[in-house]
Structure 1
Amino acid sequence: MTEVPVRPPFDPEVARALAQQSDVVITTMSSADIPRVRALGAAVTPATPPAALGGFDRYELMAPAQGLGHAVHVVVLAPPAEGTVPVLVFLHGGGMIAGTADSDLEAMAELAHQTGCAVASVEYRLAPEQPYPAASDDVVTALEWLASGDAPRALDPARIVLAGISAGGGLAAAVALRCRDTNGPALSGLMLMCPMLDHRSDSPSARQMIGAGSWDATANATAWEAYLGGAEPTSHASAALAEDLSGLPPVFIDVGSAETFRDECIDFASRVWLDGGDAELHVWPGGAHAFDMLAPWARMARTARDTREAWLRRLLTRLPSA
């Protein structure tokens, strides 16, 4: 008889959301299931900022190709402000195999509105059709365009915060390391929401949460296999492999206590501190993977959003205005 592992409990509101939205629970994904997983988010409509967001304007733009790269579609939501505003460059979730630039974008628009920023959401290429480094190349192309000053004048090229959720969070961390190592675009901050940092999927929390929550190690291994495409992983793909985490911009990380990525996130933050960096870590008790998107009405989800906003506000006050 197989012994069920001891697991931390889910927050009651998160547990209710998991039970009510069983279609978003992905714990047995194989490569054959990728089309089904993509279909779960296929109905996402383009994010049109509501009037409550101060009249944000939406732009469909293309970051021009650099060298042998590809032009990259970027959705920009910007306030009609005079002068320039900081830019949240957003990388959506979806295991590197699903999602679009509009996935979770309304939540980022709310954060941008509360903090006086614009959002630039990158439509990076997906695996397995386009494995590593395609997505990383696309993000770097978008960052180079934004940092060059050739993007719309309202977007401040000197105040760029790279943000991502789940797979997008892992991609953001890996791209930040790539930018550091290759003298790429300068980043003012790095916001990682339940990031997918480690291709090995073998941390204690990954083993503990198999078969539970909204994303487990089985699904994670399939996603990483598709993304890596047989390539030997480096820290520019799987950020947890970095031996040195110094030289990163200030980092914000949050994660649930009852999810696959808990321990890799704790380890990443700890190593940023050990290497002399600036990191803020929050482990939300009873949180499943991406709990605040799964149950945005939950009290803990509201607190998590407020906490991210507070960190971003403190970060922005330390940056010189344009």
Structure 2
Amino acid sequence: MTVEPLTAHLPAGPLDVATVRAVDDRLRALNPPPAPSMPPAVAHTGDGVELRIHGTGDACVLWIHGGGMHLGAARYDDAFCSDLAAALDAAVVAVDYRLAPEHPHPTPLHDCRAGLAWCAERHDRVVVAGASAGGGLAAALCLLTRDEQGPSPQAAHLYYPMLDDRRETVSSRENADAPMWNGRLADVAWAAYLGGRPADAYAAPARAADLTGLPPTYVDTGERDMFRDEDADYARRLAEAGVPTLFTLVPGAVHAFELLDPDAGISRATRARRLGALRRSLREDFRAW
């Protein structure tokens, strides 16, 4: 699936959620997501959050979609999740968490927690994975379930995750005008998600003081991504806290690079690396990372 950069179609001047959503809806109408090879089954958590279920198996990937906490839907990733389930010979469950600003933090995170509990009741092993905002939610979910001592994922896979609301890193300044995700969108996203409240570690995992006791974690990000430095620092701190960690920096890559140019060599290599790491996580073979 090729994705057209949202940033190329944004109007000049101040942005708000309604404006960004209108542009995103127009682009999706022009380039609709592909249909899955098999339609998913649909279930709901006790709170009514929709779960889209692809494939079957004792092991499961809980997939959390991206979109800056205010865009996207689980159904847009149906084809991706269907293909992933077939490649892993496992279940892939996509959680359709409620979006900000209508449902600011912590509602999206709690929806993901409900999805994880649903998966844990039905599968022997659950790995959580997500991209961008979904990666941030996956990281926050690991912190939350550790602290609550509730059902926890066996591993976390974070693809260019959105972790830090402060935007104080070198990469956040250097790449503030990058394609796919830029500073203007970041401002809209964090304002919508926080809803005027100060960020805590469950909203912005980069703020967490203690990363001990978290599950083994895979992180990748692009060299030209706004999130590069916050992602690299989070991976470094995980490793220093004794968490088995695999971090990959993709040379020359921008945010969501594998969606912008799926046939590029770095995109194919990244998809293969992610798939191999997921297979090993589902087997709990983290030493082979």
Asked if Structure 1 and Structure 2 have the same fold, meaning a TM-score greater than 0.5 normalized by the shorter chain, the answer is: yes
Q: Is the 8 Å Cα contact of residues 34 and 97 (structure 1) preserved in structure 2? A: no
Q: CA deviation at 1:137?
A: 1.1
Decide which of 31, 55, 58 is 1:85's aligned counterpart. Answer: 58
Q: Is the 8 Å Cα contact of residues 57 and 78 (structure 1) preserved in structure 2? A: no
Does residue 274 of the first structure (1) align with residue 240 of the second (2)?
Answer: yes
Q: CA deviation at 1:92?
A: 0.6
Which whole-Å CA distance do the structure 2 matches of 1:26 and 1:194 have between them?
22
Name 2:83's counterpart in structure 1. Answer: 110
Give the unaligned 5+ runs of structure 1. Answer: 1-16, 51-55, 66-70, 150-155
Q: Is the 8 Å Cα contact of residues 146 and 213 (structure 2) preserved in structure 1? A: yes
Name 2:99's counterpart in structure 1. Answer: 126
Name 1:153's counterpart in structure 2. Answer: none
Which whole-Å CA distance do the structure 1 matches of 2:90 and 2:201 have between them?
29
Q: Is the 8 Å Cα contact of residues 235 and 247 (structure 2) preserved in structure 1? A: yes
Name 1:64's counterpart in structure 2. Answer: 46
Give the unaligned 5+ runs of structure 2. Answer: none
Q: Is the 8 Å Cα contact of residues 255 and 283 (structure 1) preserved in structure 2? A: yes
Does residue 35 of the first structure (1) align with residue 21 of the second (2)?
Answer: yes
Q: CA deviation at 1:261?
A: 0.5
Cα deviations by residue, 1:62-117 (Å, 9 ceiling, x for unpaired): 1112xxxxx210110114xxxx3311111111100110012334223323322221
Q: 1:318 to 1:137 in 2, by over 3 A?
A: closer
Which structure: larger Rg? 1
AA paired with 2:255?
H
Name 1:49's counterpart in structure 2. Answer: 36
Which whole-Å CA distance do the structure 2 matches of 1:22 and 1:92 have between them?
17
Q: Is the 8 Å Cα contact of residues 194 and 255 (structure 1) preserved in structure 2? A: yes
Q: 1:41 to 1:116 in 2, by over 3 A?
A: farther
Q: Is the 8 Å Cα contact of residues 254 and 284 (structure 1) preserved in structure 2? A: yes
Which whole-Å CA distance do the structure 1 matches of 2:32 and 2:42 have between them?
14
Decide which of 185, 201, 214 is 1:248's aligned counterpart. Answer: 214
Decide which of 260, 265, 271 is 1:305's aligned counterpart. Answer: 271
Q: 1:232 to 1:304 in 2, by over 3 A?
A: same
Decide which of 116, 126, 133 is 1:167's aligned counterpart. Answer: 133
Q: Is the 8 Å Cα contact of residues 36 and 78 (structure 2) preserved in structure 1? A: no
Which whole-Å CA distance do the structure 1 matches of 2:114 and 2:76 have between them?
20
Q: Is the 8 Å Cα contact of residues 171 and 228 (structure 2) preserved in structure 1? A: yes
Q: Is the 8 Å Cα contact of residues 211 and 238 (structure 2) preserved in structure 1? A: yes
Does residue 100 of the first structure (1) align with residue 73 of the second (2)?
Answer: yes
Name 1:14's counterpart in structure 2. Answer: none
Q: 1:47 to 1:118 in 2, by over 3 A?
A: farther
Does residue 201 of the first structure (1) align with residue 167 of the second (2)?
Answer: yes
AA paired with 1:73?
E
Which whole-Å CA distance do the structure 2 matches of 1:300 and 1:199 have between them?
28
Does residue 219 of the first structure (1) align with residue 219 of the second (2)?
Answer: no
SS in 2 for 1:297: coil
Q: Is the 8 Å Cα contact of residues 91 and 164 (structure 1) preserved in structure 2? A: yes
Residue identity (%): 36
Decide which of 178, 199, 214 is 2:144's aligned counterpart. Answer: 178
Q: 1:316 to 1:146 in 2, by over 3 A?
A: closer
Does residue 137 of the first structure (1) align with residue 110 of the second (2)?
Answer: yes
Please give the TM-score of this superposition, normalised by the length of structure 2: 0.90
